Amino acid sequence: MSYTILSIEEVDVSLSALLAKSNNIERVSGGAIILSFRPDDPSSPHVLLCQRSPNGRDDDGEPKMNSFPGTWEGPGGGALPEDRSILGTTVRETAEETGLVLWAASNRVYCVTFPYKDVLMAKYLVIAETSEKTNCRRLWSDEHDGPRGPDEKPIRLRDDEHLDYVWATEQQVRNSVIYDPSDTRKAGLTMMQSNKDVLLDFFSWLKKDDLCMEYPLPELPLQGDGK
């Protein structure tokens, strides 16, 4: 897997236009990098990670096995034909999976490409801000090897998508274990290599640049609104 860095204007186009200028890409998905700070330590940035459930449901509501079970990642998912753009996909998927509504984004977008089920996919990761205030209280505990702290009311996970969520620091991401499909224990903060690489680059960039969240994201469609 590899990633490139794009400007948000490059991806704020229709899904058909995005696919047309993406060589050999057959499917696309969108995801969010969501940042928060502890109230008692505003200098320590944390990112939101959700743990993938082993079991889910397909588009018809039928049970299915989820890919990469037990790994931790930001919210996101596959594009649908009714999504106006990959930014719309990111807003919709984040709301569906976490209950959080995204409203603004940075100009920096990560594009991760990888083969999946015999097709080449691209996942676009947007650095985004939520309209709700996050408390950053459910934190990763190295002692317990898992999340500790109270649930945060703005965050409501779909149990067919994710098992738990946590706010993690750069060092915890750096110490995370790379996903091994042969390891069935799924212990610790396990991540896909590409997700880890992107987040470490994000933390490194964050130290040098202001987090300018000025790009407006599309509004969340009303339920049943496919326009």
Which of the following CATH numbers is that of domain 2-216: 3.90.79.10, 3.90.1150.10, 3.30.70.1340, 3.30.590.10?
3.90.79.10
pLDDT mean across residues, the chain: 90
Local confidence band at 113 (pLDDT 50, 70, 90 cut-offs)? very high
pLDDT of 6-39, one tens digit each? Answer: 999 999 999 999 999 888 899 999 999 999 998 8
Long-range contacts for 152-156 (Cβ within 8 Å, ≥24 apart)? Answer: 154/99, 154/100, 154/130, 155/48, 155/98, 155/99, 155/100, 156/98, 156/99
Q: Are 180 and 193 in contact (CB under 8 A)?
A: no
| pTM as predicted | 0.92
Q: Are 56 and 152 in contact (CB under 8 A)?
A: no
pLDDT of 147-194, one tens digit each? Answer: 999 999 899 998 888 999 999 999 999 999 999 888 766 568 999 999
pLDDT given for residue 58 in this prediction: 59
